[in-house]
Amino acid sequence: MPKSYKLKLVLGGSPASGKNTVINTNEDNGSPIGVSFKSVECLVNEEDIYKFIVWDLKDRERFRFLFPVFCRGACAGLLCIDLSNKESFSDLNRWITLFKKNMEEFPIILIGTNANLANREVSEDAIINLIANNEDLIYIEYTSLLSVEENLEEIFKRLIKTLQPRHTLSHFNLTFNKEDEQLIRLKNFFDRCPICKKSIHNNVGLKNVYKNMVDSDALRLKESLIRLVNNIEEIRVDYSNKITLGIPCCDCYKKIFD
């Protein structure tokens, strides 16, 4: 049975860490409360959905007293350093201490940005020594040789494997909080049960079908649903008094098929 997870992540690092090149939560960096947010959604094995709410901690002196509170309830931490900037590396111990002090059994993924620049200031030996002193640290280099999406897929694959070590990732798809216009149309059309007329708040099955790029039956169903919605006005004129279209809610589905 498909599963849906909603998890909190904290994103840390100095302003010079290059973290906005990894997950850009706020282009102008002007959050008035010391944190900004972004949603990242992962579809795993064409059925399970992991929705991560990323809390980007803005590293200004006046906000730091709030960071322990912002860390509560997070499942993991992402921590960035700019490999071409020694200052961002020297600040790491403060962040690691913050994360470990405020969260128990908390995986930390360290992301090295600007890995391909010739003027690298943080040596590989420095990274190795840091990991040796923090055995639970997972290190990934964010390389410009890959696209933004490929880099992020690697980060979130490692994260999910760390959180769910027994979960085999046979298929993986990553999206941000912006949804495809056609998916929004489908969700709006199928937002209410045709039987009891109650609102369907979390139509995970519909999203899974829409994002499935492997299964042939799912692809055919997706094409049929899109064609149905695109031609709905014509269908309503011809059949409005004869049929009701929609996806039943869980309660009505159980009553019908029990």
| Domains in the chain, CATH or no CATH each | 4-174 (3.40.50.300), 179-257 (no CATH)
pLDDT at residue 108 is higher than 90: yes
Render pLDDT for 126-181 as a digit per residue (tens, 0 to 9).
999 998 988 888 999 887 666 677 788 889 999 999 988 887 887 888 776 555 66
Q: For residues 119 and 152, give the distance between their C-alpha atoms in angstroms, rounded to a whole number.
A: 24
Residue 241 has pLDDT above 80, yes or no: no
Higher pLDDT, 185 or 213: 185
Rounded to whole angstroms, the Cα distance separating 80 from 16 reads: 9
What's the chain's length in residues? 258
49 beta partners: 4, 43
pTM exceeds 0.85 for this model: no
Cβ neighbours of residue 225 closer than 8 Å, sequence gap 6 or more: 186, 206, 209
Q: How far is CA 241 from the centre of its chain?
A: 43
SS3 state at 52: strand
Residue with tokens 């499942």: 75
State pLDDT tens for residues 189-208. Answer: 888 888 888 887 666 677 77
Q: Which of 48-52, 103-107, 129-133, 135-139 has the lowest mean pLDDT?
A: 103-107
Of residues 45 and 126, more confidently modeled: 126
CA distance 155 to 172: 12
| Cα–Cα–Cα angle for 159, 160, 161, rounded to 5 degrees | 90
Angstrom distance (rounded) from CA 126 to CA 134: 12
The Cα 114–Cα 112 span in angstroms is 7
What does the pLDDT look like over 4-44, one tens digit per residue?
A: 889 999 999 988 888 888 887 765 455 677 898 888 888 88
Contact status, residue 258 vs residue 246, Cβ threshold 8 Å = no
Nearest to 78 by CA among 163, 156, 15, 12: 12
Q: Phi first, then psi: give them for residue 41, nearest 5 degrees.
A: -115, 135
For residue 88, the SS3 value is: helix
pLDDT confidence tier of residue 75, bands split at 50, 70 and 90? very high
